[in-house]
Structures are given as structure tokens and as C-alpha cells.
Structure 1
Amino acid sequence: MKHGPLALTLGDPAGIGPEIIVKAWSQLKDSGPPFVVVGDYQSLASASVAGAGIVQRVTAPDQAARVFASAIPVLDMPLKAPVVAGQPTPAAAPSVVQWIETAVGLALSGAVSGLVTAPIAKAPLYEAGFKFPGHTEFLGELTEAEKYDGARGPVMMLAAPGLRTTLVTVHEPIHRVPSLLTVEKIVNAGLITAQALRRDFGIAQPRVAVAGLNPHAGEGGGIGREEHDIIEPAVRALRDLGVAATGPHPADSLFPAEMRERYDAAVCMYHDQALIPVKMLDIWSGVNVTLGLPIVRTSPDHGTAFDIAGRGLARADSLVAAIRMAEEIVGRRNA
């Protein structure tokens, strides 16, 4: 490799993060890409059927490649108290936050080439005083994303084979979405999406489809005015800025295979509008990519799954896809 390993944060230690990290390593240990886990050594050792034998503490990321074929390298930042699989607790929140902050710092410094995050649970973090809606917004704050390439905050992308979607609003109650939509926010999401398609996905002339908000994209104003007043002007502005943008498209007809052939990413107005089609298409290969950051960041497109944590049932497919996608994006940026 011509660059450092990826950093992989442990996520919520009571969730499936430790288990899927062990399973992902078992799939990638021979071929790579290598990663270094930022988190609690004991949580990983407990998640492995081989125990501590396949987990090895390292003191710096550059040691990861040397041990990766035989053990999971870990920058050990121990939990302050034991955590039981399937039983989330706000007591773990300071460690979860610290792992993310540390990994972001490593990525910003160049000590690691990119960041992959295992799932976190928002409720225990909120209970402990976490002030951000989720990973995406926290990463935007840590990386000062608003200063990067003229972006105004990070943009969430969900990517699966055959479909990429990005979001204008993310973790917002559905009743708030109409009041939060602005021409500026939609244009910003469209610009960041087009830039990422070129730089990170190797698409020279990206095509962006913009979804409507209301049924039938407002039906000419008969079922809502947001398309006429906000989304249409945003699409025109994107075209004026050189983006091959179309829309607003009715969301119920935007995602069949024939339509997906006409664009490279769909800009969606709210969370479920973007996530449901990706997960319906291929939940096991879906990846969450944070656009508009000065670092590469990906994650699985699923949550902590406390109901099956510690039972050996969790699949690592999405995490493996996230690790591989992060490596691909790093390679394109380096090129």
C-alpha cells in the first residue's frame, strides 16, 4: 500500500460492532485492505470465538499492516466499566465519543488513510448529553466540514450496487422537513453529490436526479407548493452551476431499474426517501458514505442490532463493503 491503514471505530460496544469487526477481519486478513480498530481491546477479544488470540494491541497505526494477516490490530482505549452485549448503557457514551474523535484526528493528520465507523446507538448517547443528531453531523463538526471546498456541512450518501442516494435533510422528524427545505440546501447537496461522483466514484460527467417532496412531485402545486417554490428553482440553479440535474421527480417512480439507468445519484429530501430504496435493493451491500468532508468516511448502512448482539448471528457484509469502498475512494483521491 502507498498509504496508511484505515481506522475502524468500534461503535457501540453493546451492539454488533465488535462481532462484525471480527468477522470482517476474517474475510479481509489475507487480501486487505488493512485497518486498525480504535476502541476497547477486551470487547473485541470477547466477540471472537478465538478469544484474545486474534486481537493484538498496537501503539500506532503504522504497525497495523505488519500484524493484520495474523491478528486484529487495536489502538486500545479501554471502557471505563464493563458492557454486556445487547444491553446499551449511557456509561459507555464517553468512550464511544472518544473513539470517534481519536479516529478523526488520525485521519486529519494523515496517520490513517480514511475512516470506517461501526454503528452507534443514538439514545444512549443522547442520555449522556451528546448534542449531535448522529455520526454525520458529529463528523462535520470535528472536521470543520463547512470550510472544506466551499461545502456547507456534510452530506449523507447511501450507496449500493445500482443506486446511490443523498439527503438534503437527515435525522429530522418528518413534520419538520418541509420547513427545513431551502433552495440553498438543495443546491449544496446537489453540488457536493456531483463533486463526489467525479472525485470519489470516477464518474466524469455525473447525472443527478432530484426527488420531489410531495406525492406526484406536487401535481403542479395541487398537492403541495414545495416543488414549485423551492425544488424547481434549486434544480435550475444546479444546471446554471454546470450540474446535469433533472427534477423534481415523483419519488414513487424514481427508483425502478429503468429510471436508475438515467442518473448516477438521486438527491432526496428526507431520510426514509433515500434509505428505503437502497435497503430494499440490497441491504447487505449498502454503504453509508459521508460526502463533503476533508477525510474519507464510510460505514455500514445498518444499526447496532442490540437484539442479536453477542449471539453470533450478525452479518458483516455491509461492513466489509464499507471497508472496501473506503479503500477505493482513498485510491481515487490519491490518483
Structure 2
Amino acid sequence: MSDVIGITMGDPAGVGPEICVRALAEMGEGDRARTRIYGNLPTLEAARTALGIDIDLTGHVVDLAVEGAPLPWGQLSPVAGDAAFRFIEKAVRDAEAGVIGCIVTAPINKEALNAAGHHYDGHTGMLRSLTGSKAAYMLLASERLKVIHVSTHVSLKDAIERSTTERVLATIRAGNAHLKRIGIPAPRIAVAGINPHCGENGLFGTEDDERIAPAVAAARAEGIDAAGPISADTVFHRAYGGGFDLVVAQYHDQGHIPIKLVAFDTAVNVSVELPIDRTSVDHGTAFDIAGKGIANHGNMNSAIAYARRLVSGGRAQ
């Protein structure tokens, strides 16, 4: 596996260019030599100017043309949406070819993406489509809490329907394999219930007994240290306190809210079970502050650090 990290610039009108440039500028010489930004050079130069940073971007940018670049900061446009897609597409192809070992994605704007004719619900769906993968799971990782999701960008009604025994079991397996890969030999996995108090024996719904409990039993039969379903109002507190290495959340907000409460600026979004590796910042394009040179790049640093851990075989660097 290549040890080069490929950072996609994200929406050219958002804060992606700034956090990419600032992260690159702070790297040591060795790490910088193993980093490429998939984006647009005029936009990155404009971001460098906004930041007041003196760094030579030569040799660190896979430069893709964007009509009218640099585009106005903070303005939604299909041109920017199409550019964001092309940056990712090029990085995916290079990852598939072994040119880079992991993709780190800066934020995209879903409205701009769809306005450009690229109809995806976000990075994960796009990456699944570009790689031809049948499944991909969103895992949010922080120092004390890690969460993997059975479903993400769907309505709550659809999310309940997606929490089938088969899908919950597949999510448990995916999370278990990923944690083993990053150096946790016997992951302790908690599976959150979907109903209040896991349904209270059918009083508040039967999905936990009929769908989730059988998935946990099947995982345990395979030798996975899985527990649940556990009421969602306590399971994240228990995991944060060290009781579990990973929580399987049944839907988007169930997993995102606790992570963003305890690790808003440091949590990393990891795509699991794709044929390529990808990590991401866990924030948006922040159009309201784009181009002002004030965007916090701490989350980008965390995503890059996790990516380097993946390309080094799970070892912390």
C-alpha cells in the first residue's frame, strides 16, 4: 500500500481549501512529502493568501481545472459542486491504482453537488458508487467514543425499516473487523436499541426483540464480543466511560449526537468496507466564514492522522 495521503479539497467555495493549506503548512517535511491535495491550484493559492501563509504548493497539488477559479467564497454553485465531485473521482481512481494509500475528504455541499447533476446523499454514497461497492458504513471515531451506523442519510421512518437482522449483523461485523485492523485485538461492541428502553418487552415496539437481538446473538455465535440491544439512553455513556470499544447506532442522529457532544472538533468520519480507505472531517463547508482565514483545521489534522494510521497498518504514528 502506498503511504501517500490524498486530500480532496472539497467545495471550492467553502472552507476546504483553507483547512487543506493550513494542515499542509503545519506538517513536517516527511509527512508533507507524502501528501497530495486533489483540488484546484488557483483556489488553493487564494486560500493561502487569505490565511497569510507562505508555503510553496508546487508538487503537492493534483491540479484540476475549475471554470472561473478562484470562485467567490461562500456562494453555492453547480460549478463548485461539479468540481468537488471531480476532485473525489480522481482521488478514487488513484487510490484504486495504488498511487495513494488513503483519501482524506474536506467538506462538500450536497446541494451544490446535486445542482451539478451528481445525485448522492453525501461522500459515502458517492464513494460506494464510484468503487462499485455493495456496502459502506459510516464510522465516527474519537479518542473515547467510536460509533458505526446501520443507516445514515435516510428518514427516520426508513431507518427503522433498514434495521433488519441481516443489516445489523453486517454492521457489527464491519465494525469488528475495522477495530481489529487499527489494533484492538478483541473489540467490545455494544449494539444500541432502536426503541425507548429497547421496547420494554414489546410495550414500546417489537423491533429490538425481533430484529436486533437475533443479530447480536448471531454475532456472538461467530465469536464477536457483542452485547445488546442496550438502551440508547445509557449505552453511549457506558462506552465513553470505557465499557465498550464501539457502539452500533441504528440511525444517523442516534450516533451523531453523542459523538458531536463529546468530540465536536476532533471526531473523524471513516468509511468502512469500501475497497479503498477514506477518512474525513466531520463538519460542513461553513460558507459563512469561507475565505476569512479563520476556519479551524483541527478536525482535518485528526482525519489526516487517522489516515496515516491506516496506511501504516493500524499503528499509531
TM-score range, shorter chain: over 0.9
Letter in 2 for 1:224: G
Paired residues for 1:1-335 under 5 Å: 3-30=2-29, 32=31, 34-49=34-49, 54-58=55-59, 73-82=60-69, 83-146=71-134, 153-199=135-181, 201-256=182-237, 260-332=241-313
Letter in 1 for 2:108: I
**Residues 46, 52 of structure 1: 8 Å contact kept:** no
**Residues 3, 308 of structure 2: 8 Å contact kept:** no
**Residues 145, 293 of structure 1: 8 Å contact kept:** yes
**Residues 189, 226 of structure 2: 8 Å contact kept:** yes
SS at match of 1:188: helix
**Residues 170, 271 of structure 1: 8 Å contact kept:** yes
Residues 289 and 259 of structure 1: CA distance in aligned 2, closer, same or farther (over 3 Å): closer
Residues 130 and 52 of structure 1: CA distance in aligned 2, closer, same or farther (over 3 Å): same
SS at match of 1:313: coil
Deviations 1:229-265 (CA, angstroms, capped at 9, x unpaired): 1111111111122211101111111122576412111
SS at match of 1:266: strand
**Residues 82, 118 of structure 2: 8 Å contact kept:** no
Letter in 2 for 1:108: E
Letter in 1 for 2:218: A
Residues 292 and 28 of structure 1: CA distance in aligned 2, closer, same or farther (over 3 Å): same
Letter in 2 for 1:5: V
SS at match of 1:145: coil
Distance 2:239 2:57 in 1: 48
Q: CA RMSD in A?
A: 2.0
Deviations 1:23-57 (CA, angstroms, capped at 9, x unpaired): 11122144626310011101110011377963434
Q: Report the more deviating stretch, 165-174 or 136-145.
A: 136-145
**Residues 9, 37 of structure 2: 8 Å contact kept:** yes
**Residues 41, 57 of structure 1: 8 Å contact kept:** no
The CA deviation at 1:295 is 1.6
Deviations 1:91-117 (CA, angstroms, capped at 9, x unpaired): 222221111111011111111111101
Distance 2:199 2:116 in 1: 41
Q: Report the more deviating stretch, 253-262 or 173-182.
A: 253-262
What is the TM-score when the length of structure 1 is the normalising length? 0.88
**Residues 57, 75 of structure 1: 8 Å contact kept:** no
**Residues 254, 260 of structure 1: 8 Å contact kept:** no
Distance 1:318 1:120 in 2: 15
Distance 1:156 1:79 in 2: 30
The CA deviation at 1:198 is 0.4
Distance 2:280 2:143 in 1: 15
SS at match of 2:313: helix
Residues 210 and 257 of structure 1: CA distance in aligned 2, closer, same or farther (over 3 Å): closer
**Residues 239, 246 of structure 2: 8 Å contact kept:** no
Distance 2:153 2:99 in 1: 31
**Residues 218, 225 of structure 1: 8 Å contact kept:** yes
Distance 1:184 1:128 in 2: 35
**Residues 210, 267 of structure 1: 8 Å contact kept:** yes
**Residues 299, 322 of structure 1: 8 Å contact kept:** yes
